[in-house]
Amino acid sequence: MNLALAITALLATNKTYTLKNTRTYKTIAYTLLVLLLTGAVFTGCKPKNAVTQKDNGPKGGKEKLTEKQRLDSDFLFFNATKESMLGNYDEAARLYNQCIQINPYNAAAYYELARIAFDAKDYDNAVLLGRAAMSLDKKNIWYKLLYAQALQGTGKFDEAVKVYELIVKENPNSIEYTFELADGYLKASRPDDAIKTLDRIEDLMGVSPEISQEKMRLYLRMGNIDKAANEIQKLIDLTPNDPTNYIVLADMYLTNRMNDKAFDIYQKALKVDPTNGAVHYSLSQYYREKGDNDKSYDELKIAFASPDIDIDTKIQVLLSYFSLSETSPGMKTQAYELCKLMIDAHPLEPKAYSMYGDFLFRDKKFLEARDNFLKVLDIDKSKYLVWSQLIMCESELGNHQSVYDYSSQALDLFPTQPDLYYYKGSSALRLKKTKDAISTLSDGSGLVYNNPQLELQFFALLGDAYNAEKNYERSEDYYNKALNIEPNNTYVLNNYSYYLSVRKVKLDKARDMARLVNTIEPNNATYEDTYGWIFYIMGNYAEAKTWLEKALSHGGDQDGTVLEHYGDVMFKLGDTVKALEYWKLAKEKAGATDLIDRKISEKKLIE
């Protein structure tokens, strides 16, 4: 290694490591240059004022130092190393530089600076400093290793190989350094040399899975399937009762479209271990490649029943089923069967129940999905998404108390998730816990960030909750906030207009909002009922009758509210018989008011 070239490069470079003293490297370089020009480096000449007392720098410097210089250098080196260990690399570099100013032959100081630069991925300076350390102490193996690694960092793989070759030449029995050389050949795109080097390691330590598998990969990269197979055959011969290497060899054949050879090896593996899940999993892929889906699935079932196949592999298979099974009844049946086999094989694995729950939820089997999500949480309560899915199941099932209870529990674990506040607030509102709903929804809305749609949902429910509390000013304020986000939101327009009509205020505004809702989403019984009811409150009974009849024809005949409203309209139009008929129908359905019994018994409208 040419120290003069290293110095010249240090002087030329404009790059500096992120040190507070950005002149560190150039100061080092100028110091070395002066010594080189005065013949103090590699010439054997001493400077005119050199002392003759015995001295070394902290790591083998060649120049004689005074006792004071030696002590100062040792002190600086010790403190620099301490700062480096503490992570104060700027200060460490400054102190190492001072060491070099006292003793320009301090190879260890150059090495430590090179290491700091290398750790910061400043490979160019690491190369220059590492080269200087090597030039000053050619026997130190660590200096060579760092220098080679720095060269690789700059992409100079061929130069790095030369250093590794030198290291191995000096340490011919070192398996570790021979591995470094093999890796160097790989990075330098010299697979033939890498294989020869691995052969040398094999001579030193015998056949091993790591070496044979690496050689197999190299042979495959070179397109030599037979030699790759020979490497795995060595491992099979080494442990003939272990099916693992049979599977590696067979999978390699299968990947390279050598299906018949793959099948033969799979059969040998089954003779070794007939119940091995990995063999059956590989066979399922083999049959799928052949287009024999029935046999592929049979093998896959055996694999799924085996606890030897890890849960993540099974989850990946089921994820591929997820979209395909949506439109294929046969695939859906298989997916459910595989889920159950997976659960039987991994009864304590939450992922198994979660995956099954996802399929059930997708297929609207909310009761079974809920039970599986509960099993997940019995094992592991830390999964927010599982809590969310559980709560959505309960919501779909109409279990508002369960929604309230589970969302309350989940909030103890995830207090910054706004969705949980929404679930709890909406269920509290349905349970007529309006004060709780307002408090929860207010807290949750403050956590919403960059999600206008979720914010709108909070505002809409707060409008409903404040209306229930008869705080109409706040209710209208929140409805207006929601409509500022989405002016055509049918839920908000419908509820806002309906509650205005119930209070008999701002009826023109209520009518206009209801008209807009029915324009946006026609043939919706709920929205038609609201529009008809507003006409009823405004005294336009003929128009009210028209819209309520539309509501009845679109499913309102199963809704006690719509039926009762229609009875009220018919009473206003003078048809008492019709009114009584619809009031009686309303009583049989959910949604009628508390006045329905009096209307029926007294045969008149009660308001």
DSSP string spanning 334-355? HHHHHHHHHHHH-TT-HHHHHH
Half-sphere exposure of 132 (CA within 13 A, CB side): 34
State the Cα–Cα distance between residues 98 and 102, nearest whole angstrom.
Answer: 6
Determine the pLDDT at residue 19.
42
DSSP string, 18-71: S-SSTTHHHHHHHHHHHHHHTT-SSS-PPPTT---S----TT--SS---HHHHH
Domains and CATH numbers, the chain: 1-155 (1.25.40.10), 239-309 (1.25.40.10), 310-397 (1.25.40.10), 499-607 (1.25.40.10)
Determine the pLDDT at residue 74.
86
State the Cα–Cα distance between residues 595 and 567, nearest whole angstrom.
Answer: 13
Determine the average pLDDT of the residues in 290-301.
93
Reply yes or no on whether the pLDDT at 186 is more than 70.
Answer: yes
Give 373: exposed, middle or buried? Use CB within 10 Å, 0-12, 13-18, 19+.
Answer: buried
Most confident of 47-61, 203-217, 350-364: 350-364
State the Cα–Cα distance between residues 272 and 278, nearest whole angstrom.
Answer: 13
Percent of the chain past pLDDT 90, that is, above it, reads 57
Reply yes or no on whether the pLDDT at 540 is more than 80.
Answer: yes
Between 305 and 239, the higher pLDDT residue: 305
Q: Which of 27-36, 234-243, 278-287 has the lowest mean pLDDT?
A: 27-36
Determine the pLDDT at residue 232.
78
Determine the average pLDDT of the residues in 364-376.
97
State the Cα–Cα distance between residues 458 and 437, nearest whole angstrom.
Answer: 10
Q: Is the distance from CB of 193 to CB of 185 less than 8 angstroms?
A: yes
Question: In this structure, how many other beta carbons lie within 10 angstroms of the beta carbon of residue 302?
Answer: 19
Determine the average pLDDT of the residues in 71-76.
88
Residue type, 346: H
Determine the pLDDT at residue 16.
37
Instruction: Please give the C-alpha separations between residue 228 and each of 207, 217, 225, 231, 266, in angstroms, as whole numbers.
Output: 14, 7, 5, 5, 17
State the Cα–Cα distance between residues 245 and 226, nearest whole angstrom.
Answer: 15
State the Cα–Cα distance between residues 353 and 330, nearest whole angstrom.
Answer: 21
pLDDT digits (tens, 9 = 90+) for 390-439: 999 999 999 999 999 999 999 999 999 999 999 999 999 999 999 999 99
